């Protein structure tokens, strides 16, 4: 099993705060790293797909970085809003198989 680990498991922040969380993964046999946003009672939605060491992706107030050599990715949210409350999943792709972390549950308090 090629473990993907996410930290912290859960996070509560005040509206307007910036925050970040971590996805760690084995650096061998790396193809791609995905981030998903999963709102309660909905399905996961793809945020970013990153493949190259040093990749940085941005969508609005959310951005992500990738370090394949040391096996980690950071997800940043700038100026958190209540609608950012969700579970953020990362997944490592090793070819045709994805291995998901257990997610970071973010709650933004108004």
Partner 1 sequence: NAGVTQTPKFQVLKTGQSMTLQCAQDMNHEYMSWYRQDPGMGLRLIHYSVGAGITDQGEVPNGYNVSRSTTEDFPLRLLSAAPSQTSVYFCASSYVTGTGNYGYTFGSGTRLTVV
> Considering the rule CB under 8 A, would residue 32 count as an interface residue with partner 1?
yes
Phi, psi of 67 (to 5 degrees): -125, 100
> Considering the rule CB under 8 A, would residue 7 count as an interface residue with partner 1?
no
> Considering the rule CB under 8 A, would residue 20 count as an interface residue with partner 1?
no
Total number of residues binding partner 1 (CB under 8 A)? 28
> Considering the rule CB under 8 A, would residue 31 count as an interface residue with partner 1?
yes
> Considering the rule CB under 8 A, would residue 56 count as an interface residue with partner 1?
no
Among 25, 44, 62, 106, binds partner 1 (CB under 8 A): 44
Binding mask 57-96 for partner 1 (x = CB under 8 A): --------------------------------x-x-xxxx
Which residues share a beta bridge with 68?
Answer: none
> Considering the rule CB under 8 A, would residue 42 count as an interface residue with partner 1?
yes
Cβ proximity to partner 1, 17 vs 49, nearer residue: 49
Burial bucket for residue 97 (CB in 10 Å: 0-12, 13-18, 19+): exposed
Contact 103, 38 (CB under 8 A): yes
Pairing, β 86-93 against β 104-109: antiparallel
CA 58 to chain centre: 12
């Amino acid at each position: 099993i090629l473990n993907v680990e996410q930290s912290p498991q859960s996070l509560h922040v005040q509206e307007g705060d910036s925050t970040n969380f971590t996805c760690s993964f084995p650096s061998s046999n790396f193809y791609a790293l995905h981030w998903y946003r999963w709102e309660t009672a909905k399905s996961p939605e793809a945020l970013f797909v990153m493949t190259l060491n040093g990749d940085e992706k941005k969508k609005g107030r959310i951005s992500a970085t990738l370090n394949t050599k040391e096996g980690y990715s950071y997800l940043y949210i700038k100026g958190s809003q209540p609608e950012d409350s969700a579970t953020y999943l990362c997944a490592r792709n090793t070819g045709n198989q994805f291995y998901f972390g257990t997610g970071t549950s973010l709650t933004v308090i108004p």
